[in-house]
Chains A and B, each alone.
Chain A
Amino acid sequence: MNWNLDTDHYEVRFAHEEDIPNIYALLSTKGVVKHHPKSPMVVEAQAMDEARRMVMQFEAKEAAFWLVEEKMTGKVIARIRLQKFNWINASGQLVLDIFPEHKDSAKVAEILYAVLTLAYEDLSLHRVEWHLQESDSGSIELASLMGFQHEGQLNSVLEFEGQWIDYQVYSMLNNDENWQRAIKEQGLPKG
């Protein structure tokens, strides 16, 4: 199975050793991590540790991480992952870390379509969830535009900096009309 994905404008690929500065650049940016929620990284050693965790979680079949490299510039603009695989219920959870200036519907649609295709076709997942904070209005707008369906709210999932964090639950099923249309049109809606 080929885990590296190729789209018109991006290489959606696994990280390698030379990506530590790319991971650090991404995850030290407040605008990237604030809705997850996480504190931005402050030293590059944290990115090394994160890279190790990415490998370990993949080897344990708990998650898969891709960096999104723009073909034209070679710049890594995002990291996307599928995590919390539940192989019994055929589900997984999507997380997108992306530089705010690249968070537009055309780019996200292209990246997401590649990863969801792998999720449904190669990994045989039935359900992909996307948990988003209500304050992350940009991602909520994108999730709705891409055809994810809002299912409700999970309350007080975790505590971050003294606040309890709620998540809005969005999902896309492999037999959803929106996904079937995306297959037919070979892409998610770009807005």
Chain B
Amino acid sequence: MKFVANVDFNGGQLRPLDKSDVDSIIKLYQKQTLAGQSESASREHAERMVELSVQMAATQRGLMWAIEVDGAMMGMLSLYDWQPTSLKTLMRLDVLPGLSQQLQVDALRSGIDYLAQKYHLRNFSFQCLPEGEGAIVDVIKLAGFEQQARLRDFRRISQTEYSDILVFNLILAQSAEGEK
């Protein structure tokens, strides 16, 4: 049974992860991009992520798509803390340097459109570190996200150090009444 759908977008597609993606996943997870995962990926970790991506989607706890452009894996769009009853999820976007900003925005928007249509999700959020994530912040803002909060010392980065987290949010304009 296929739990992660293929979603086309202008210039590429979102598709399920597979074992051939392991090298790309390792490249993608060498920096601390967004909250949710802090460690850099080892081969073992990347292989586990491919397996986990199926389990997460099957139980609607999360989802991981590879962003593929011209046959090459150029990034990942992931869902964490997917709460089907509250129609919301936390997202994460990881990209390799060659993926243009426009393609990142298109991939993100297509993923959101699909999730809204298929699973009726309406509340999408990102958590970003305040420093060094300007490129991702630009992409999610272009996709319609707005900053809602800055959570002080929300994330521990060492035994004694903490980092703030910026919370971005996109709420699709559907009322709870309408969805019923």
Q: Report Cα–Cα, A151/B130, bound state, in Å.
A: 14
Query: Is B1 part of the binding interface, using a Cβ–Cβ cutoff of 8 Å?
Result: no
Tell me which residues across on chain B come within 8 A of A91, comparing CB atoms: 154
Total A-B contacts with CB atoms under 8 angstroms apart: 59
In the complex, the answer to whether B154 meets A127 with C-beta atoms within 8 Å is yes
Report if A152-B171 is in contact (Cβ < 8 Å); known contacts: A158-B86, A162-B176, A164-B176.
Answer: no
Q: Report Cα–Cα, A153/B167, bound state, in Å.
A: 9
Tell me which residues across on chain A come within 8 A of B152, comparing CB atoms: 127, 149, 151, 171, 173
Using a CB–CB cutoff of 8 Å, the interface residues on chain A facing chain B are 88-91, 126-127, 149, 151-159, 162-164, 169, 171, 173
Stretch of B54-62, B109-117, B143-151 on the interface side:
B143-151
In the complex, the answer to whether B169 meets A162 with C-beta atoms within 8 Å is no
Report if A126-B162 is in contact (Cβ < 8 Å); known contacts: A149-B152, A154-B148, A156-B88.
Answer: yes
> In whole Å, how far is A103's beta carbon from the nearest beta carbon of chain B?
25
Question: Which 5 pairs across A and B sit closest by C-beta, in order of nearness?
Answer: A152-B149, A156-B123, A89-B156, A159-B176, A151-B149
Tell me which residues across on chain B come within 8 A of A162, comparing CB atoms: 176-177, 180
In the complex, the answer to whether B148 meets A171 with C-beta atoms within 8 Å is no
Sample of 8 further A-B pairs with CB below 8 A, known A126-B156, A127-B153: A127-B162, A153-B148, A153-B149, A154-B149, A158-B86, A159-B86, A162-B177, A173-B152
For chain A, what secondary structure do more than half of its interface residues adopt (helix, strand, loop), or is it mixed?
strand
Tell me which residues across on chain B come within 8 A of A158, comparing CB atoms: 86
> In whole Å, how far is B160's beta carbon from the nearest beta carbon of chain A?
9
Q: Which residue of B lies closest to A88 (CB)?
A: B156
> In whole Å, how far is A61's beta carbon from the nearest beta carbon of chain B?
17
Tell me which residues across on chain B come within 8 A of A156, comparing CB atoms: 86-88, 122-123, 171
Report if A89-B155 is in contact (Cβ < 8 Å); known contacts: A157-B86, A159-B86.
Answer: yes
> In whole Å, how far is B28's beta carbon from the nearest beta carbon of chain A?
23
Tell me which residues across on chain A come within 8 A of B167, comparing CB atoms: 152, 154
In the complex, the answer to whether A90 meets B156 with C-beta atoms within 8 Å is yes
Q: Report Cα–Cα, A127/B151, bound state, in Å.
A: 10
